[in-house]
Amino acid sequence: GDSVTQMEGPVTLSEEAFLTINCTYTATGYPSLFWYVQYPGEGLQLLLKATKADDKGSNKGFEATYRKETTSFHLEKGSVQVSDSAVYFCALRLQGGTSYGKLTFGQGTILTVHP
């Protein structure tokens, strides 16, 4: 079945450090890929997305590129801030079919950024 695997956390970084959170996926079709972020006490928010191979999603300094050849969608940010501390979820959604709108999530990665 479809699945998403994220790197194990938690990840702890100093402010201005470079961030990478790895995400790989297994899917039977051609999925859309997403990164969601969950700040403490809040619901998940869409951070960025990519809908086809080689697309790059970006938002708030975060980037991720849809790599079909490696089935990956790694999240990166060049310089993290304390306010980036949150839980990050990688997810996929198949295009069409009976699973309309269904998101398959990775297990989440806790990021803590220290001043």
Partner 1 sequence: GAVVSQHPSRVICKSGTSVKIECRSLDFQATTMFWYRQFPKQSLMLMATSNEGSKATYEQGVEKDKFLINHASLTLSTLTVTSAHPEDSSFYICSASRLRGPPTDTQYFGPGTRLTVL
- Contacting residues toward partner 1, per CB under 8 A: 4, 32, 34, 36, 38, 41-46, 49, 51, 89, 93, 96, 100-108
**CB of 94: closest distance to partner 1 in angstroms?**
11
Residue 15 CA to residue 93 CA, distance in Å, equals 32
Identify any residues that bridge with 62 across adjacent strands, giving them in sequence order: 59, 77
**CB of 95: closest distance to partner 1 in angstroms?**
9
Q: Among candidates 75, 88, 79, 94, which has minimal Cα distance to 32?
A: 94
CB nearer to partner 1: give 97 or 115. Answer: 97
Q: How far is C-alpha 6 from the geometric centre of its chain's CA atoms?
A: 8
Identify any residues that bridge with 104 across adjacent strands, giving them in sequence order: 92
Cis preceding linkage at 10, omega within 30? yes
Q: Around Cβ 38, how many Cβ atoms within 10 Å?
A: 16
CB nearer to partner 1: give 18 or 56. Answer: 56
**CB of 100: closest distance to partner 1 in angstroms?**
6
Residue type, 61: G
**CB of 31: closest distance to partner 1 in angstroms?**
12
